[in-house]
Structure 1
Amino acid sequence: MSDPIILTIRRAFAASPERVFDAWLDPAQARRFLFATPDGEMAAVEIDARVGGDALIVERRPAGEAGHRLRYEAIERPHRLVFLFAADPADEGQWSRVTIEIVAEGAGCVLTLTHEIDAVWAAYEARTREGWTMILGGLAELVETSDG
């Protein structure tokens, strides 16, 4: 068995750790950035924000519905969030793990996202990195504005 692929992405935010952390677990905020694409429309955002709880995010995209399932393993506000992730809700056997760590820095914070992906998905590494980078960009737009 091959070692997993470890993707790590860091981003600074001009917002408090609490503001950045809370956006991940609040359905009204999550629908604005989590798996949201420019051409898509959110169809469902259901978040059971507790350890062992699940989340389902479904976006209607030009190519069809894109579903994403999460299962929370750790919720340590405002510094650490760990969840299992499956890109196709119908196939829960393909979980990967995402860890989000948030550290206060100056008036804002730095978020480090680590995604552990099974080596069989190596061909999707660049696409996965691009997806998380886009998500973190959307999160920045949300938390760094006064109307977010």
Structure 2
Amino acid sequence: MIRADIDPKVGGHFLVIDRRPTGDAVHYGVFLELRRPRRMVFCFSAAEHDHNADRIQIDIEPLAEGTRLTLSHEMCSEWGQFEEQTRQGWVHVMQGLERELDAMQVVSVPEIVAQVAGEPSKASAP
């Protein structure tokens, strides 16, 4: 990641730029729901004012021996060809999160469970 501008409030916008071998990937989003520390819901798109943005929901649940993170990604139908690439991207993000938390040694993190809720569904355009 080479840039992250975040306004962490409901209705707040964010911009994330990720350096990739094929070039920089720019993503825009808006926070729809923030219930710290248990839930975050946001829209996410590669275009700044895209009305067909994907919807991502992240729920965090404490367990006796760690934490369960459940991620649901409702993918816009026009991006359906990228389902597997998107799934692998989230796996990479969760692995990075696990490494960072382990390195911090602030919390005991024997395992982070990233559960993509079924197949990414294709939300239809409004």
Asked if these proteins are the same fold (TM beyond 0.5), I'd say yes
TM-score of the superposed pair, with normalisation by structure 2: 0.76
Structure 2 residues not aligned, in runs of 5+: 107-126
1:115 is aligned to 2:73 = yes
1:145 equivalent to 2:103? Answer yes
| Aligned-pair CA distance for 1:107 | 4.1
Aligned residues: 106
* CA deviation string 1:12-34 (max 9, x = no partner): xxxxxxxxxxxxxxxxxxxxxxx
Hey, what's the Cα distance between the residues in 1 that align with 2:58 and 2:25?
Answer: 22
When normalised by structure 1's length, the TM-score is: 0.65
- Unaligned 5+ segments in structure 1 are 1-41
Flag the structure with more relative contact order, 1 or 2, with Cα contacts below 8 A and sequence separation at least 6: 1
Runs of 4+ more than 4 Å apart: none
Q: 2:16, 2:27 within 8 Å by CA — same for their partners in 1?
A: yes
Greater fraction of residues in strand: 2
Structural RMSD (CA): 1.8
Q: Percent of pairs identical after alignment?
A: 34
Structure 1 Cα separation of the partners of residues 88 and 21 of structure 2: 19
> Does residue 76 of the first structure (1) align with residue 76 of the second (2)?
no
